[in-house]
Amino acid sequence: MSKTSDVHDSLNVTHNQRHDVQASYQARRSRSLALIERMLRSYLRPYLPLLGLSIVANVIVAATTGALPWFIQMAIDEVFNGKNETMLLLIPVGVIAVSIIKSLATYASNVIMNFVGQGSTANLQRDLFARLMRGDLAYVSTQHSGAYISIFMNDATRLRDTVSGTIIAFARHLLTIVALIAFMFTINWHLALIYTIIVVPMGLVSMRRLGKVTRSASRQGLEETSELSTFIVESLTGLRIVKAYGQEDQQISRARATIDRVLDYTMRALRARAAASPAIEGLAGFAVGAIIYVGGYQSMQGNLTAGEFMGFITALLAVYQPLRSVANIQTILQEGVSAGTRVFSILDQKDAILDTPNAKPLKIENGEISFDQVSFQYAGRDIPALNDVSIHVPAGKTVALVGQSGSGKSTLLNLVLRFFDVSGGQIQIDGQDIRSVDLNSLRRATALVTQDPFLFDDTIANNISYGKQDFSQADIEQAAKQAAAHEFIVDMPEGYQTRVGESGLRLSGGQKQRIAIARAMLKDAPILLLDEATSALDTASEQKVQTALTQLMKGRTSLVIAHRLSTIMHADEIFVMREGQVVEHGTHTQLLDKRGVYADLYERQFDNGNG
């Protein structure tokens, strides 16, 4: 009894599985269709007139291809057998004319298709880039920049090839096939029927099977390519560490392994593509055999002329190439679907951090900030980074945040800029909840100096004036002077026009910091968010940076994550953070007197000579 029920169960399982496979096939199929439709709707629509033109050109290609076998038939029947002298002249002239028209139409269609393919991909790339720039930090940082580069370059161009490939296959090759097969039917429907019955269904079957192989191989290929791109970006940015730890060989062999996998998947997809043609050719062999037999028999019966037979065979040979392309269409399409899915998943990402429908610009009166029972948890973390934090930063004052590494200090600054939104409580600037104001106005009102200052691979002047064209050289120099950076800048080989290299690689840590400070100085925002770098600077540069900071904080509401004793002592109030909570606050002296966490922290720093 139990045995039969087992068998029954297992039958059920396979039945269900088959059902699932069928369902997922259906789902994938409808997803492919949705994707194609979307590509047409959003990216090909502007090109519809051109596409129409290209279809006309392809109709001409198809018609002229269909005319060739007819000329052969005429040549044999009228000239070779009929000895018709007019035809002897007319046919070659006709063939030449038709060939010229065909090449012109082919050329026109190719140019148009390339234009459409390139243009629509360029638009897609524009959208993709804009999407990444405007996307939530939380989402964008889920993937490595290398992966985005790969999607940008590989997936987008793969999609382009699919667009032009598919349209050409449908407009040109399918029409050519129709024209040639129609011709075959006009000559002899017996033979045409034999041909169609043998070749077409088998071609369709192989197409469908190969399409599946291609889809999975090309998806994996693209994923591995992303992986490779990530790995390359990372190895190059971390090259110093790679070398310092003697990891060159390991990096090389890891890259090699990834490249091998890319090769493997790409070859799998290409093999599927390559298999499509021989499959058709093999089938065609059967068809030709059968046609010679049946055609020969009919000719013996006097039902088929030599010209008709030759015309038929010519059509049959001419139909190979378009048939091969059409057999490939499924594989090309599947490659495009894999690529498109990845591209559109980025485009479709919904942002959480948005302006509310009636967001008003932030009105700054004097720039006071208040954190009101703020809690926050990063996605994928099980403990909150901030838990019920209340901090008040009075207008024009400097509030310092101190605390162990990981206690949530930088997170607080991220929240003020709305890189993330609070999960509980609220943050107000001059009494306005920052979630209710226009995002741009919020970010215009704040200047941020991050823990690891980022410089663009551009000149020092452009790094200071970043994003603003309306500053004069004098403004820039003024800011640099206040940031104690002017001196070292003028000592550079090309002064303010010196390029700083990738992420400012050609500058020292302290120099980078001072340029970042000059940038914030020039922005001249009423609110300053400063994440001091922990890296210990030598006393001279430390002093310079400190002077720069003091200048910067003057007259602004400043929320400063402080590591330098000098910054801390000058602060109007200090908040001590621990595990996402404020554990103490007060002035430097008040906190020292308390002999609590702060006093502890302070003494330890002082002992280590880091204070």
Q: Which residues bind ligand ATP (CB under 6 A)?
A: 378, 381, 385, 403, 405-411, 451
Q: Which is nearer to ligand ATP, 411 or 558 (CB)?
A: 411
> Which does residue 408 bind out of ligand ATP, Mg ion, none, counting CB within 5 to 8 angstroms by kind?
ligand ATP
Nearest C-alpha neighbor of 79 from the set 363, 323, 305: 305
> Which does residue 295 bind out of ligand ATP, Mg ion, none, counting CB within 5 to 8 angstroms by kind?
none
Q: Which single residue brings its beta carbon nearest to Mg ion?
A: 410
Q: Least separation, in Å, of the C-beta of 150 and ligand ATP?
A: 22
Using the rule CB under 5 A, give the single segment among 311-319, 336-344, 383-391, 407-415 that binds Mg ion: 407-415
Distance of alpha carbon 476 from alpha carbon 519, whole angstroms:
9
Rg, Å, the chain Cα set: 36
Q: Choose, by CB under 5 A, the member of 84, 110, 349, 410 that binds Mg ion.
A: 410
Q: Least separation, in Å, of the C-beta of 387 and ligand ATP?
A: 11
Q: Which is nearer to ligand ATP, 137 or 263 (CB)?
A: 137
Q: Which is nearer to ligand ATP, 556 or 563 (CB)?
A: 563
Nearest C-alpha neighbor of 155 from the set 337, 32, 328: 337
Q: Least separation, in Å, of the C-beta of 579 and ligand ATP?
A: 9
Scanning residues 511 to 550, which ones bind Mg ion (CB under 5 A)? none
Residue ranges with strand state E in 210-326: none
Local structure of 471: helix, strand or coil: coil
Residue type (1 letter), 145: S
DSSP 496: G
Q: Least separation, in Å, of the C-beta of 402 and ligand ATP?
A: 9
Q: Which is nearer to Mg ion, 290 or 583 (CB)?
A: 583
Q: Which is nearer to ligand ATP, 217 or 562 (CB)?
A: 562
Nearest C-alpha neighbor of 345 from the set 151, 130, 145: 151
> Which does residue 448 bind out of ligand ATP, Mg ion, none, counting CB within 5 to 8 angstroms by kind?
none
Give the alpha-carbon dihedral of 189, 327, 123, 356, to 10 degrees: 100
Q: Least separation, in Å, of the C-beta of 338 and ligand ATP?
A: 29
Using the rule CB under 5 A, give the single segment among 328-336, 350-358, 406-414, 453-461 that binds Mg ion: 406-414
Q: Which is nearer to ligand ATP, 80 or 419 (CB)?
A: 419
User: What is the SS3 string spanning 45-105?
Assistant: HHHHHHHHHHHHHHHHHHHHHHHHHHHHHHHHHHHHHCCCHHHHHHHHHHHHHHHHHHHHH
CA–CA distances in Å: residue 191 to residues 145, 196, 281, 318, 528: 59, 9, 18, 16, 84
Q: Which is nearer to ligand ATP, 160 or 409 (CB)?
A: 409
Q: Least separation, in Å, of the C-beta of 451 and Mg ion?
A: 5
Residue 182 contacts residue 189 (beta carbons within 8 Å)? no
Nearest C-alpha neighbor of 550 from the set 590, 517, 524, 573: 517
CB atoms within 10 A of CB 169: 19
For residue 560, what are the β-bridge partners?
A: 400, 530
* Termini Cα distance of the chain: 81
Q: Least separation, in Å, of the C-beta of 221 and ligand ATP?
A: 30
Does residue 157 belong to the site contacting Mg ion (CB under 5 A)? no
CA–CA distances in Å: residue 457 to residues 31, 463, 490, 501: 41, 8, 18, 5
> Which does residue 406 bind out of Mg ion, ligand ATP, none, counting CB within 5 to 8 angstroms by kind?
ligand ATP
**What number of chain residues touch Mg ion (CB under 5 A)?**
1
Q: Least separation, in Å, of the C-beta of 398 and ligand ATP?
A: 18
Using the rule CB under 5 A, give the single segment among 5-13, 331-339, 359-367, 403-411 that binds Mg ion: 403-411
Q: Which is nearer to Mg ion, 123 or 410 (CB)?
A: 410
Distance of alpha carbon 208 from alpha carbon 201, whole angstroms:
11
> Which does residue 435 bind out of ligand ATP, Mg ion, none, counting CB within 5 to 8 angstroms by kind?
none
Q: Least separation, in Å, of the C-beta of 405 and Mg ion?
A: 7
> Which does residue 407 bind out of ligand ATP, Mg ion, none, counting CB within 5 to 8 angstroms by kind?
ligand ATP
Question: Roughly what angle, to the nearest 10 degrees, separates helices 2-38 and 306-347?
Answer: 90
Kindly list the residues in this chain that would bind Mg ion in the complex (CB under 5 A).
Answer: 410
